[in-house]
Amino acid sequence: MLRNAALSILLLSVLLLVGCGRAREAQQAVQAGRQLQQKGETTIKTDEGEVQIKTDKAGEQATVTVEDESGQKHSITVGEDLDTSELSLAIYPGATKEHGQVITTDRGKQLSFGFTTTDSFDKVAKFYKGKYSDAKISDIKMPDGRLLNIGIAEPPDMTSVAVHQAADEDQVAIILIEQK
């Protein structure tokens, strides 16, 4: 799953480069993807800076670091085993962590984690509404499911909780996003 996420990030980079008319860099990104599958680490150098892509040995975590022309580095780390200890948002009791992502820039970090539970939507919604009763809460019932969105902090300090259940699903998905 993580290798797919890392390759998805790489594909997005290729599409952005192609969209910007930078075919040479896009070709380098494709070659880098092949190297990433073989070595677990690769670097793409462009006139604007460089991109480093690394995966851990077990393939459970990937980091993409971009250095711009001024030398500032920005990175995104995705993986199943990312640590949630920096997250100050409440994690629903008994929820299973499905994925995580940490974006690091010169402005700080954005943590994003996805969880699932087999508890009812109403039970999960009650838990989060109780925790963040002062936040902006929208509970939307749709023909194909239900969505609870809790906006705890406005951008640029975006912090939110999203709870979703599709009408045909037994599981409830929980997304926690926090800007630090």
What is the predicted pLDDT for the residue at 20? 40
Which of residues 132 and 56 earns the better pLDDT score?
Answer: 132
Instruction: Give pLDDT tens digits for 29-80.
Output: 545 554 454 446 666 666 666 666 666 655 566 677 777 667 777 777 776 6
Quick one: which of 109, 65, 105, 104 has its CA closest to 87? 109
Q: What percent of the chain has pLDDT over 70?
A: 62
Which pLDDT value is given to residue 108?
81
Q: Does residue 33 contact residue 55 with C-beta atoms inside 8 Å?
A: no
Mean pLDDT score across all residues of the chain: 75
- Which pLDDT does position 51 carry in this prediction? 66
- Single out the residue of 82, 92, 90, 83 nearest to residue 122, CA to CA: 92
Name the percent of the chain lying above pLDDT 90. Answer: 36
pLDDT for 146: 95
> 27: which residues sit within 8 A by CB, 6+ positions away?
none
**pLDDT band for position 102 (cuts 50, 70, 90):** confident
How far apart, in whole angstroms, are the C-alpha atoms of residue 71 and residue 47?
12
Give domain limits for the chain. Answer: 2-69, 82-180
Q: With a cut of 90, say whether residue 139 has pLDDT above it.
A: yes
Q: Would the pTM count as exceeding 0.85?
A: no
